[in-house]
């Protein structure tokens, strides 16, 4: 096994969003994670607005610390999903000190969204 190779447990806990896609009512946010050819999705935090809690865990098969994942936050509507924001995260920043607990800022149209 090479340095940085193995299984990474990624826990998507909660969000503190600043961008609201709803004119009326509360958002129902969820997260998609794209890593290599794999895509993962959290549960939908129904009507939780800008402070959703997901607490979902995903197992990622990491082969190199230079790999990156894309995390996108969406708001589930009746028939579609609206983009809230996204962030790209390098594996090297997640495996430092045998794991971290940290917040990552999602961006929408070059501005922080939460």
Pairing of strands 81-90, 38-41: unpaired
Q: What pLDDT, on the 0 to 100 scale, is given for residue 4?
A: 57
Check whether 71 has a pLDDT greater than 60: yes
- pLDDT for position 3: 53
Q: To 10 degrees, the CA torsion angle through 44, 50, 54, 60?
A: 90
Q: Are 37 and 60 in contact (CB under 8 A)?
A: no
Please provide the average confidence, as pLDDT, over all residues in the chain.
92
Share of the chain above pLDDT 70, in %: 96
Q: Please give the share of the chain, as a percent, with pLDDT higher than 90.
A: 76
Helix ranges (H only) for 1-114 are: 91-94
Residue-range domain boundaries for the chain: 6-112
pLDDT digits (tens, 9 = 90+) for 82-110: 999 999 999 988 877 777 888 999 999 99
Check if CATH label 2.60.40.150 holds for domain 6-112. yes
């Amino acid at each position: 096994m090479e340095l940085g190779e193995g299984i990474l447990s990624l826990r998507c806990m909660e969000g503190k969003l600043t961008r609201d896609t709803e004119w009326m009512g509360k958002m129902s946010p969820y997260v998609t994670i794209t890593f290599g050819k794999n895509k993962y999705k959290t549960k939908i935090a129904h009507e939780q607005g800008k402070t959703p809690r997901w607490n979902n865990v995903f197992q990622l098969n990491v082969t190199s610390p230079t790999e990156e994942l894309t995390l996108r936050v969406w708001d589930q509507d009746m028939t579609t999903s609206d983009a809230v924001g996204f962030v790209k995260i390098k594996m090297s920043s997640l495996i430092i000190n045998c794991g971290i607990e940290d917040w990552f800022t999602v961006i929408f149209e070059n501005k922080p969204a939460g």
